[in-house]
A and B are shown apart, each in its own frame.
Chain A
């Protein structure tokens, strides 16, 4: 067992503990955006898929790397964009008031 592995294991365990602490303080109302945010963070796997592409040397390797890159990039980009769309709706009350006044009386909200 290498010392590098022990270092990695230390990082893993401490990161788990940080995750528990940071998350447990988030209010219920933000849980769905939070799940989405956490979902985009595990898109970091894109870094891994880029690294494996470099070691590919045959067709099978390239195909696996390509599919992995597609999936990971989808996770990262889609994840952050959809989280931002959700959070965009939690505007400060002032901005929200102005908007609801301007939209006052409009029966249909097309989207």
Chain B
């Protein structure tokens, strides 16, 4: 190994170390940003080292340099503008879009490499190559569909068409056969192209039948896929840093996916089989299963809140969808100014992704110390005067404590143990589990039917006029 090679390998090692340390620093909100900067530093070092390899080897001609420069500049520019402009509520779909880009790039690396084989390189290269094309292409199309579902371009509800299952199975069979062919060194370019196309179609048929509420789990899973595809690309072109970073992401995505699915009391297999209702419940048609529902006016709600000594706000998907994070903070500040103790109860899967609600509330300048996690806030509910539930549904349903319901065993916030409850919701529509919420028919619960943003503005106005 020449001195130059040694230096490059050491830089790659340093970059990999920075990725690991960077992820480790994300343990705490205090060090998380530094962690991301360290990781970015490692990335910059690895890219610069790669450019140095190109210069030293002299393999790249002028055209190649122009291709690299132009491609990187265009991609970086587009990425930068999108990342700067995106609203924080739309952030999950942007992550999915970037994920698609990574998966597509990884698949292209393998395709390009395949075109340049002069002789069969052996199964230890061909197997990762086939897997890279397969996983990369599935991730590319799957992430685009997932992003489209969250963005509303693709309908959020599960899409199942006649013969969809058969088509998916047929595509899986095609992928299996072509992968084996490529690994065995037969079929040539045609096998790679067919594998790529089948995988692209598979990505679409895999994600279409899954409801919008499950998209975070799907995005996380596809994120893990991309990591694995990148690691496979590393095997193909014989590059350590791709293998290390790809494997890191593959593992992280897998863990994260499992945690998300666990918090919703779903198995990953269950989600991927799809067809289990939709998160964007606009079901105004859906009625209650029985029991009386009591509605409250903005004035009633305002008086209840203003004269409480302890209020817990339970934000959910509806608050994120209505982008009402600033309004909720305004109401909370007003109550705090009156001496009311206000905190926020954050369910692990509140919002559109685990932790997404924290990001949204942080954007509205809600102090981090007021955000309470489920295990921390649940014992406090019996002392809470008013629990204000905003656009959250299944995560507050007491039915989860009983066996035999669709959400049995799912961890919930013990909102029903508060002294009184106000629920802000657009309608009596169901959550993704598709069952009635017993909290809404509880005698101590008052329902306020409105869009979260409008409801909070009305309550804030009412507090101001009534109790000044």
Residues of B within 8 A of A31 (CB): 256, 259-260, 353-355
Please tell me if the beta carbons of B108 and A67 are within 8 angstroms of each other in the complex: yes
| Interface flags, B8-49, vs A, CB<8A=1, else 0 | 000000011001101110111110110111011001001101
A37's contact among B36, B79, B333, B348, by CB below 8 Å, is which?
B36
CB <8 Å contact, B259 and A84: no
Could you tell me the dominant secondary structure of chain A's interface residues?
helix
Q: Looking at the assembled complex, report how far the CB atom of B32 sits from the nearest CB atom of chain A, in whole angstroms.
A: 5
Kindly identify which residue among B37, B46, B75, B255 contacts A24, using a CB–CB cutoff of 8 Å. B255
Asked, given contacts A27-B27, A46-B72, A64-B108, whether A39 binds B367 with beta carbons under 8 Å apart, the answer is: no
Is A44's CB under 8 angstroms from B241's CB?
A: yes
Tally of contacts, chain A with chain B, CB under 8 A:
398
In the complex, chain A residues 18-59 whose Cβ is within 8 Å of any chain B Cβ: 18-20, 22-56
Q: Is the CB of A11 within 8 A of B102?
A: no
In the complex with contacts A74-B76, A81-B79, A47-B239 CB distance below 8 A: yes
Q: Which of A48, A70, A78, A99 contacts B365 (CB 8 A)?
A: A99
8 Å CB contact of B74 from A23, A65, A73, A93: A73
Measured in the bound complex, the distance between the Cα atoms of B64 and A51 in whole Å is 10
Once A42-B227, A87-B33 are accepted as A-B contacts, the answer to whether A82 and B83 lie under 8 Å apart by CB is yes
B26 touches A33 (CB 8 A): yes
From residue A88, how far is it (CB to closest CB) to chain B in Å? 7
Distance of B18 from chain A, by nearest CB (Å): 10
* With A44-B241, A56-B64: A19-B256 Cβ-Cβ less than 8 Å: no
The reply to whether B67 and A62 contact each other, CB–CB distance below 8 Å, is yes
B42 CB → nearest A CB, Å: 9
* The residue from B43, B83, B244, B371 contacting A11, defined by CB atoms under 8 A apart: B244
**B78 contacts A by Cβ under 8 Å:** yes
Contact between chains at B46 and A28 (CB < 8 Å): no
B220 at the interface (CB under 8 A from A): yes
Beyond A19-B250, A29-B371, whether A1 also contacts B54 by CB under 8 A is no
Measured CB to CB, the residues of A under 8 A from B are: 1-2, 4-5, 8, 11-13, 15-20, 22-56, 60-62, 64-93, 96-97, 99-100, 103-104, 107-109, 111
Which residues of B come within 8 Å of A, CB atoms? 15-16, 19-20, 22-24, 26-30, 32-33, 35-37, 39-40, 43, 46-47, 49-51, 53-54, 57, 59-60, 63-64, 67-68, 70-76, 78-80, 82-84, 86-88, 91-92, 94-95, 98-99, 101-102, 104-106, 108-109, 111-113, 115-116, 122, 124, 219-220, 223, 226-227, 230-231, 233-235, 237-256, 259-260, 263, 326, 330, 333, 346, 348, 353-356, 358-359, 362-365, 367-369, 371, 373
Could you give 25 example pairs across A and B, Cβ below 8 Å?
Answer: A19-B249, A23-B255, A26-B27, A29-B358, A30-B355, A32-B359, A34-B23, A36-B95, A39-B98, A40-B40, A41-B249, A42-B223, A48-B237, A51-B237, A53-B60, A55-B59, A68-B71, A69-B75, A74-B78, A76-B43, A80-B36, A82-B94, A90-B30, A93-B368, A107-B330
Extra inter-chain contacts (5) besides given A5-B235, A8-B243, A77-B83, CB under 8 Å: A12-B247, A54-B64, A75-B75, A78-B83, A87-B29
